[in-house]
Every structure is written in C-alpha cells, then in structure tokens.
Amino acid sequence: MTGDGATTTRRTRETAQSLAAKQREISISEFFTKNRHLLGFDNPQKALLTTVKEAVDNALDACEEAGILPELRISIQEITEERFRVRVEDNGPGIVRPQIPKIFGQLLYGSKFHTLKSQRGQQGLGISAAGMYGQLTTGKPVSIISKTGKRSPAHAFEIRIDTRKNAPEPVSDRIVEWDAEHGTIVEIELEGSYKKGRRSVDDYVEQTALANPHAEITYRSPKGEEIRFERVTNELPKEALEIKPHPYGVELGSLMKMLKDTKARNLRSFLQQDFSRVSAKVADEICSRAAVPAGRNPHQISPAEAERLHKTIPHVKIMAPPTNCLSPIGEALIFKGLAARVKADFVTSATRPPAVYRGMPFQVEVGLAYGGDLPAEELVEVYRFANRVPLQYQQSACAITKSAVTTDWRNYGLSQSKGAPPAGPMVLFVHVNSVWVPFTSESKEAIAHYPEIVKELRLALQECGRRLGNFLSRRRRVADEMKKRSYIEKYIPLIGEALQDILSLTDRQRDQTISNLKDVLEKSRRM
C-alpha cells in the first residue's frame, strides 16, 4: 500500500486503488468536443466554413464514386447574426437507411479511411464533427433526407450525437416526399459568423467550382444572393482505383501486423497479394536475401525474421507504385476552368507525372492566369487545393505556399521580394492529388513539407513560370515592334513628300518610292 514509506510519502492523497477507480474510457466525441479547434471549429467564422466544406466534400465524393455528374445546391440561411442554417443538397447515390445515423452521428465512421485512393474525405470525422458542433452550440440535431432511387422512399432523419458513447441518437425517422430521383440533403444549424472576402464561404464555393469543373453548383449566400456555377465539362474525372500498399513505405510493425492478418498461405504469395508491384520474382528475391524460405506460413514468421524481411526490402529493386489510384483534374480542364472564371490575358497549366512519397503516389498540377482584370499592384493569390478541395487556412504552414514563395519568379519577368510570393496581376492554382494527403492537422488546412512533394510543386510552378516568361517577353517584343511600325507609318509619307519636292517626282513615283522604302525598312527591321 502506498503510504508505507514514511520517508517519501508526506501527504497521502490518492492511492493506486483510488486512482484506478477514476480511470475510464474517453470517447472520441468527448475528445473532439473539448479539442474542437483541431477539427477546424476554433472560431465562429471558421466553424461556418468548415461545416459547408465537410458537407460539400461528402456530396462530391458520393457522386463521383457512383459515377454521377454532381449537381449541388448549397445554401446558408442567416437566422441571427450569430446563428446559421447550412443546407447542402446533392444528386448522389443516396445513403441506405440503416447507415444514415452512423454516418452523421458517429465520429470515426466511414468508408474511406482504409482505402488507398484519391478522395476528398479520409477520416470519417468531418460531417459528424460538424453536426456535433451544431448540437453543442445550438442544441439542434442534424437533419438528413436521403433517397437511393426513383422507386425507393426518401428517409428523413433528425440525429443527435450521444457524445459519451460516440453513438447516434435518432430523434425522428420518417418517410417524406422528395421529387429527386436520388440524393441527399443535409442541414446543420450552428453558431457561426459570416464575412465576405478572403477565406469566406463565398470564396470557398468559387474555388470548389474551379477545382471541380464537372460539377454544377448553385450557391445561396446568407445575404440571399444566388450564384450559379455551370459545369465546364460533362466528363466525370477519371475513376481513381484502390491500390495496395507499396513495400517501400511499410513499417516493421505494420509488416508484422500484415503477416498476422493475411489470408495468403505462404510468404511468397503474401508478398505478391498484399503489396502492389511485387512479382513472384521480386518476392523470391526478398525472401532469399532475407534468408526466410518463401514457402513459409506467414503466420509463423518470427519477429526476427520479420525484421530481416523489413531490412531487406529497401535493397530490392521494386517498380514504383501504380498511379491509377490518382484522379488529377488535368491540364486541359484546369486551363478551361481558369479561362472561364478569370478574365486574363494569358492562361497556362501543367500536370506533373505521378511521383511517390513514403510509398504513397501523388501528383501535382499547377494553373496560372495572368493580366486582364486581375489587380496589378498586389501580391499574387495562391489558390491551394488537396484532392480538389480548396484549402483556406494556415497558408504559411503549407508546402504549396512554401514552394510558391521559394520559386524565383524574377526569372520569369515578375517582381518579387525575398520570402514573399511574386507581385503582379496573377492567380496561381495549385493542386496536390494523392491517395493520402499528409495534412498538418485533422482540420486539413495545410500540407506537410515532404521533400518529394515540395520538389514536384517547384517543378510544376517553374514549368508554368517559364511559359509565362515566354509570353511576357513575346508581348514585350510585339509591343516594341508595334512601336517601330507606327514610326514607319508616321514618317515614311513625310519623307516621300520631301523626296517628291527635291527630285520632282510624279505622284505615282512618290507613292512607289514610299512603298519601296516601307518594304526595305520592314525587311531590315525583321533581321
């Protein structure tokens, strides 16, 4: 018993036994209620944005997974200055009735966490956290209507979250009339604050339209303005396929867990089936180099053997992971989108070939619009996107910002101060697409500085920068030429008239001389 040792114990307050009585499980909902800033609910303005964002992410993901061209209606109703009702309607596949409560009323529940492919959602946290925040600040449940097909009924739920259990508590569950064929409507009432301008919901919706040229979005702001973003293409994005982990990315503990969980009957087929890019030959090479027989039962591999396998893998040459798990927007559509939404003199876009960090495929795309209506005197705006989702906060912590700032734009004819983005009438659109975007926090606001990602970002930015440089120097040349040409056009006739006087030319001879002179000068100027 504690308290026996008089020398060390001065006051006995708690004992091992009394402390044990206090220990208990903390539900993830309780955890994120107390730490809600981690999920992007630190202040009312951000809470409003995050709520819209989570609902829109889910809607777009659902449509794409089902191969449906998305049609979204986003509306924000201002109830008081501090209270809003967010409503997002989609034409997605809908959600089957038994899943509705869990998806909206349980944190860490979802289909995407264990899937290695490019998607907006990753964690199964967002929409239920938004609902929980609404409930916390207004006491109102989340309401959902969902319909899975023409002949299916539309189910309407109102759901609370029991934060102690992290479990949904349906308040009501009815069948309602809804004339849509299929889709989902989510409504969340929350304490928030609406401001126009940078980082506003308006901005977010506009950038979402830009990164999702296949989506049609109608947006009704709290002030009642309605904006419609027409789709720029009728093509759905290329379907992203799920992949298996690549051996180069695996950690010892994960390898041991995979060995334990596998259904494969020997080590060779385990390596082939549970990883991507491992052929029978590669599997055999790993086994023989690690001195573990390829025919061994994976469940009977000892920790020491697993460690030998793990140490061997980096020394065996294995093909880079497949990249059909990615879903880039594509150069053509980035170009088209920018051209449609920004009035600019010059637009370009570049999609890099896929690359890999920590065994995870990723791909970088950059769009650039210059001139036109863009403000000439300000620092360039950088629109950041991760898996087509606009990122609006923590820009200084983000690898995208870092890459844009450390690119030397003076090489391409722009002015730039050290440590700042360039200045000029320009917008940058930067998209990182990956099966697992390494965000710096759960609120998914900034991308971590993996050197491989920063490198690809810089290459893509430089590519667009070079093209802009060419455009700008061509434009300068043309402007010079126009100036010279205007001199010729202005002075040659005067010279012609002077020559006519001096040499007593006829009008025809004078015109002929003028024309000859023009030709000669034009030719010499071209050389």
Q: Measured from the CB atom, is 224 or 253 closer to its own copies?
A: 253
Q: Measured from the CB atom, is 35 or 297 closer to its own copies?
A: 35
Q: Interface mask (CB under 8 A) for its own copies, residues 184-203, using x and -?
A: --------------------
> Which one among 77, 82, 136, 518 touches its own copies, defined by CB under 8 A?
136
> Which one among 254, 411, 417, 515 touches its own copies, defined by CB under 8 A?
254
Q: Interface mask (CB under 8 A) for its own copies, residues 265-284, using x and -?
A: --------------------
Please tell me whether residue 106 binds its own copies under the rule CB under 8 A.
yes
Structure tokens at 378: 């300000």
> Which one among 48, 283, 287, 306 touches its own copies, defined by CB under 8 A?
306
Contact assessment for residue 40 and residue 185, using Cβ atoms and an 8 Å cutoff: no
Q: Measured from the CB atom, is 134 or 367 closer to its own copies?
A: 134
> Which amino acid, 137?
T
Please tell me whether residue 285 binds its own copies under the rule CB under 8 A.
no
Least gap, CB of 254 to its own copies (angstroms): 6
CA distance 227 to 50: 20
Q: Measured from the CB atom, is 128 or 207 closer to its own copies?
A: 128
From start to end of 165-311, where are the E strands? 167-176, 183-191, 216-220, 226-229
Please tell me whether residue 371 binds its own copies under the rule CB under 8 A.
no
> Which one among 45, 78, 79, 102 touches its own copies, defined by CB under 8 A?
102
Q: Looking at residues 66 to 95 of the shown chain, list those that interact with its own copies (rule: CB under 8 A).
A: 66-69, 71, 91, 93-95
CA quadruple 301, 307, 313, 315: dihedral sign: negative
> Which amino acid, 57?
D
Residue in this structure with the two tokens 């040409």, named with its chain if needed: 485
Please tell me whether residue 451 binds its own copies under the rule CB under 8 A.
no
- Residue 84 burial (CB count, 10 A): 27
CA distance 175 to 399: 47
> Which amino acid, 266?
N
CA distances from 61 to 66, 115, 117, 202, 345 (A): 9, 13, 12, 21, 34
> Which one among 229, 270, 275, 436 touches its own copies, defined by CB under 8 A?
436
Distance of alpha carbon 404 from its chain centroid, rounded?
16
Structure tokens at 184: 């989902």
Please tell me whether residue 65 binds its own copies under the rule CB under 8 A.
yes
Q: Measured from the CB atom, is 230 or 373 closer to its own copies?
A: 230
Please tell me whether residue 523 binds its own copies under the rule CB under 8 A.
no
Least gap, CB of 408 to its own copies (angstroms): 25
Query: DSSP state, 436?
Result: S
